[in-house]
Each structure stands twice: as structure tokens, then as C-alpha cells.
A = this chain, B = another copy of it.
Amino acid sequence: MNDSLLLTEFRRVVEFMDQDFLKLAPLFEKIQVKKNEHLFKAGDISRKVYFIEKGCLRQYLTNSNGEERNIYFKVESGWCSELVSFLNNTPTDLNLQALEDSELWTINQKNWIYAVTHIAPFTMYFIKAQQETNYKLKKRLGEATIETPEEKYTRFLEEEPRLLMRLPLFQVAAYLGMTPETLSRVRKKIGSK
């Protein structure tokens, strides 16, 4: 049990007893998804919360011209969800897609509500993990409009070197908010320093 990715992730953030995990684990179900498959699309209601055992997912936004912006990438030990939609049964404006063949733990609404109301360390884990996400989003929102393309790429290179190697560059460009051409030129310039 101690080698479970899920338990390791809980313990990264809070104290989590074996007995709590024994209550929690059966609430999850494992699924396989293929590369490019969508877990939900804009307009859908999100019915699950996902934990990545293996693979890589992106959440993204599309505008009326069909252009895409990636909100985040998540890999092993990451959570993907749209809880406003999930908890209120309302459609979401965002999309969630696998970028690699992936293996996910899923939990449905009934089980998630049970867990968050009956398994105290899960509740606390969830609150703290959400705050981490929240803080990162706030910083990135500021950076998105204040940084130059070169600064954005340099930051990504420093903060997420493994992600950079794992992802196609056009997806990175859609995350950093620039065209693939601009990213290519920035990389050329940085590389020569």
C-alpha cells in the first residue's frame, strides 16, 4: 500500500493513516484512456474527478475562432477535475483531454462527497491541494500578461524541464500564450546564449 501513488500524494501534503486510505481506496475505479481522447468537452457536465496514475492530460479553452489555450498540463500524481460543474451539475466551458495513453483513477460524485464529508484527512488534503492550484493559477494569470515570450519560455524551461521534453512544442506554445513560430524563434535565441 505504501507504494501507491495516490497515498504517496496524500502524504506529501497531510498526515494520512493506512486505515483512512483503506476506507478511501475502494471509492476509486481505474480506467484507461487513449491519446487524444476527451474526458469532457465544453458544454459537458463533469461527472468524475481524475487522478493520474500514468500519462499526461491537458485542460484547455477554445475561442470562437477555434484557437486553443492550454490552462495546464498534468502528469503522474496530478488531479484533473471541474468541480463547479461536478458539484452543481452545470456545463463547463473547459475541455479535458489525454495527450498520451493514460491510466486514471476516477471517483464519482456520490463517492467524492462521501469522502470529503467522512474522511477528514482527505478533506484537509483536498483543501490544501486546491490552494496550491489556486496560488499557481493566480501567479500565472499575472505573468501571462506581464511577461515577454522569452521570459515565459525561460520560466517554463526552469520550472518544468521534464514537461518541456515530454510535450510537443505546439502544445507548449498554446500553454505559454504564443504562436508556435514565436516559440521556435525564442528557443533558437535562448539556445545560442
* Residue ranges of A at the interface with B (Cβ–Cβ < 8 Å): 59-61, 63, 67, 69, 71-72, 82-84, 87, 92-94, 116-117, 120, 123-124, 126-128, 130-135, 137-147, 177-178
Contacts and interface: CB of A to CB of B under 8 A. Distances in A.
Given A83-B131, A130-B127, A137 B141 contact: yes
B141 A71 contact: yes
Contact of A144 (B63, B93, B120, B177): B177
Contacts of A138: 59, 61, 71-72, 94, 137
A84 B135 contact: yes
Given A123-B123, A130-B127, A142 B82 contact: no
Nearest to A144: B144
Contact of A61 (B59, B60, B130, B146): B146
A127 B116 contact: yes
A117 to B, nearest CB: 7
A120 B113 CA distance: 13
13 contacts: A61-B138, A61-B146, A69-B146, A71-B142, A83-B134, A83-B135, A87-B128, A116-B124, A127-B127, A127-B130, A134-B137, A137-B137, A145-B145
A127 to B, nearest CB: 6
A139 B93 contact: yes
Contacts of A120: 117
Contacts of A83: 128, 131, 134-135
